[in-house]
Amino acid sequence: MKIAPLVLVCLASTAYADGGARIDFGLIRSQVAVTDQTALSGQMARFGVGFAVNRHFHAGAEVEEGWMSGNALPDGAVARTGLPSGPLSGNTLDMKLVTGLHTDLGSFRVSGDLAAGLRDTSVSTDLGMDVAGRKKEPLLEVRTRLDMFVTRAWTVGVIAGTDTLERRDLSIGAVISLQTDR
């Protein structure tokens, strides 16, 4: 009789660990290449959802949106757009599908991800709106992530990555996640 509850707890724990969902929010500091010769720094808000397919494999989707600002090249040019006369500012939107591997080490979760999707940027100057920016450009991002469980379900973490198609696109940020797979 005492074995039945123990078996039930073991089966429930195994099933719980093999699947579950993740919802995360974050703030990302990034550098985004907007033309062949110009990259701008900015900050993006991040929202993601994911699912643990099994104990070590996950998949999901993310959206990042934010602003960028910076200066033109020393000669005042933004590639292929003429001669802007002031600072540059703009907007970026990333939409990604993500897959990766993760493992738990005590109260930490270490992940490696591959994200594929599209990035859309627009840049404005004193000459006008949307004078530069990569439109609907594909991205293939590799990154690593380290989360610390502050409770059974909530984590805080850091994430860092780079786009393999445009190596000037870099990001590092902080994330807060609700994880139901532990």
Q: What is the block-wise mean pLDDT of the chain (182 residues), using blocks of 10 residues?
A: 41 46 93 75 93 92 89 51 60 93 94 94 72 80 96 95 88 93 68
Residue 114 is predicted with a pLDDT of 97
Correct CATH for 19-179 of 2.40.37.10, 2.40.160.20, 2.40.10.10, 2.60.120.700? 2.40.160.20
Which pLDDT belongs to residue 46?
94
What are the sequence ranges of the domains in the chain? 19-179
Which residue is listed with tokens 């062949």?
36
Q: How far apart are CA 162 and CA 94, in angstroms?
A: 13
**Calpha distance 68→81 (Å, rounded):** 18
